[in-house]
Amino acid sequence: MSVHTSASTLFNHLSVLYLMHVFARRGSIVRISLQNFVTYTTAELRPSPQLNVIVGPNGSGKSSLVCAMVLGLGGKPAFLGRAKDAADYIKAGCDHAVIEIELYTGQGKNKVVRRDIYKDNSTWKIDGKPVRLKDIENLVRDFNIQVENLCSFLPQDRVVSFAALDSASLLKETGPCFCCMFNRRCVVH
């Protein structure tokens, strides 16, 4: 049975690698790892390069995953509409939280972005090396990830305000996303 399990596991890993090679775009999230983040003590998610659906009861941490993506890639807490400081996302009773996001490069070795959130500040790393927030923002821009575009990331606490946007505001919020979708490079930013 262990041989079957090993073969099955190997097949699953090869299937994911094949899907990444065929479907993944540069900058796709291939892994999210969380420690002491909102409701999670530890969690790791490996999304596929295609559609991912996260289902669970209220309060199980679905929205926390979107928050982790935004905050882990340099987005501002105010965009999420939940809290004004990143420290507010540290799990109750803990002194710091960790968000680690692995991004597909299409060139062999993926990039790993890490944010350690403390009560009074955050530290950043790319591939284990300390960097500044500006370096994270440059990497995210280079990968064409739009963490503050409501079509790319729609936090639960922003759904009502997004639905209430007038036509001009809706175009402003979604325009860059469509540009990027068709051109693969945004000409607006």
Is the pTM value of this prediction over 0.85?
Answer: no
> d(Cα 186, Cα 189) in Å, to the nearest integer?
6
- Tokens 């991004």 correspond to 103
Q: What is the pLDDT along the chain (189 residues), one digit of tens a residue?
A: 444 444 445 444 444 444 444 456 788 899 999 999 999 999 999 988 777 777 888 888 888 888 899 899 998 888 777 788 999 999 999 999 999 999 999 888 999 999 999 999 999 999 999 999 999 999 998 888 877 656 666 666 666 677 777 877 777 666 555 444 444 444 444
